[in-house]
């Protein structure tokens, strides 16, 4: 276990974090991955108005400087105007580059061919168009796209495959949502973003916790125990609600495939990512 993670005081508490150490660790990670490993000096990220992308922008600025961070607001027709305003708070506080690109023409250009697409399919199209924009802008700016997904979302599969989790590096991927909140508060992210209800912002009044059927603090506490090998009976003995245990366990198990690269049919002993690995990958 890395030293940035603090032990749970009680089983039903979410894991803590040494915010000062985590900040130093993640800033060093970004410099190492962008500058040292890839020889790049610019970062591109989508700024949604939520806490995860805001914290990522703060970390990128500390790692690279504001002149090297390019944020993109990528609203759709149904996006909340408040999200755009909250993203602007981050831009103004950090002094980073920002451009707003309306993705509605691109999304609707496809969805007009699929008028019966449900909310899930429409949301996936939006997410993948946003990632298309970020990767294209990264090519234009000679920059690297930075991921913003947190550990809780990734474990629960609450993201679009080959979209939210597509960028090559992600500073928040090993931080539970509750740890993201604590680190954001420590780093001075505007309180308005920390206090707002997390939302994918795909439709009016949508919230993450309503979609998931559990609050982030409870989910984080459960996930931390599951990752240590606890079985359902133990979790219930430790004070967790059986219904919430079932919700988290089911999501964790049925979305395992999303946390892996595409499954390759192996025909040789040099299959990429199955056998062929660099020494650093072991």
Question: What domains appear along the chain, each with residue ranges and CATH number?
Answer: 5-204 (3.40.50.620)
Mean pLDDT of 46-67: 97
Bridge partners, residue 276, by sequence: 272
Residue 166 has pLDDT above 90, yes or no: yes
Mean pLDDT of 261-280: 72
More confident residue, 211 or 113: 113
Q: Whole-number mean pLDDT of the chain?
A: 92
Reduced to 3 states (helix: H, G, I; strand: E, B; else coil), residue 230 is coil
- Whether residue 207 contacts residue 199, with contact meaning beta carbons closer than 8 Å, is answered with yes
Alpha helices by DSSP H, listed for the chain, are 19-31, 51-64, 81-94, 104-111, 119-141, 151-156, 177-187, 191-195, 208-212, 216-227, 232-237, 242-254
33 secondary structure, DSSP code: I
Give buried/exposed letters for 212-246 (b at 16+ CB in 10 A, else e). Answer: bebebbbbbbbbbbbeeebeeeebeeeebeeebbe
Position 204 confidence tier, pLDDT thresholds 50, 70, 90:
confident
Mean pLDDT of 234-254: 95
| CA-to-CA dists, residue 10 to 161, 201, 218, 239, 257, angstroms | 33, 33, 12, 10, 31
Position 5 confidence tier, pLDDT thresholds 50, 70, 90:
low
Mean pLDDT of 10-26: 93
Position 63 confidence tier, pLDDT thresholds 50, 70, 90:
very high
Give me the pLDDT at residue 221, please: 96
Reduced to 3 states (helix: H, G, I; strand: E, B; else coil), residue 15 is coil
More confident residue, 273 or 123: 123
Name the nearest CA neighbour of 148 among 168, 129, 124: 168
User: Which stretch of 129-138, 230-239, 258-267 has the lowest confidence by average pLDDT?
Assistant: 258-267
Position 282 confidence tier, pLDDT thresholds 50, 70, 90:
very low
Residue 152 has pLDDT above 50, yes or no: yes
- Whole-model pTM: value is 0.92
Mean pLDDT of 29-42: 96
Name the nearest CA neighbour of 248 among 157, 145, 126, 165: 157
Give me the pLDDT at residue 9, please: 67
More confident residue, 214 or 273: 214
Tokens read off for 52: 């995860």
């Amino acid at each position: 276990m890395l030293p940035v993670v603090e032990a749970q005081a009680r089983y039903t508490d979410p894991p803590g974090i040494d915010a000062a150490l985590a900040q130093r660790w993640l800033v060093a990670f970004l410099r190492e991955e962008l500058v040292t490993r890839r020889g790049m000096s610019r970062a591109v990220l989508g700024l949604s108005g939520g806490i995860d992308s805001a914290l990522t922008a703060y970390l990128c600025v500390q790692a690279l400087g504001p002149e090297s961070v390019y944020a993109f607001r990528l609203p759709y027709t149904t996006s909340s105007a408040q999200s755009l305003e909250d993203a602007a708070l981050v831009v103004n506080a950090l002094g980073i580059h920002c451009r707003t690109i309306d993705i509605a023409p691109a999304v609707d250009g496809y969805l007009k061919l699929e008028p019966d697409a449900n909310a899930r399919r429409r949301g996936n199209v939006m997410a993948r168009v946003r990632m298309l924009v970020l990767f294209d802008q990264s090519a234009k700016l000679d920059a690297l796209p930075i991921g913003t997904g947190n550990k809780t979302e990734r474990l629960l599969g609450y993201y679009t495959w080959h979209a939210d989790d597509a960028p090559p590096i992600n500073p928040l991927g090993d931080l539970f949502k509750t740890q993201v909140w604590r680190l954001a508060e420590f780093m001075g992210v505007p309180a308005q973003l920390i206090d707002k209800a997390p939302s994918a912002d795909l439709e009016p009044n949508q919230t993450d916790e309503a979609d998931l059927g559990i609050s982030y603090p409870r989910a984080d506490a459960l996930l931390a125990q599951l990752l240590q090998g606890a079985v359902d009976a133990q979790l219930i003995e430790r004070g967790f609600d059986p219904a919430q245990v079932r919700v988290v366990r089911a999501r964790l198990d049925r979305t395992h495939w999303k946390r892996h690269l595409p499954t390759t049919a192996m025909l040789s002993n040099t299959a990429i990512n199955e056998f062929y690995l660099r020494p650093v990958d072991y």
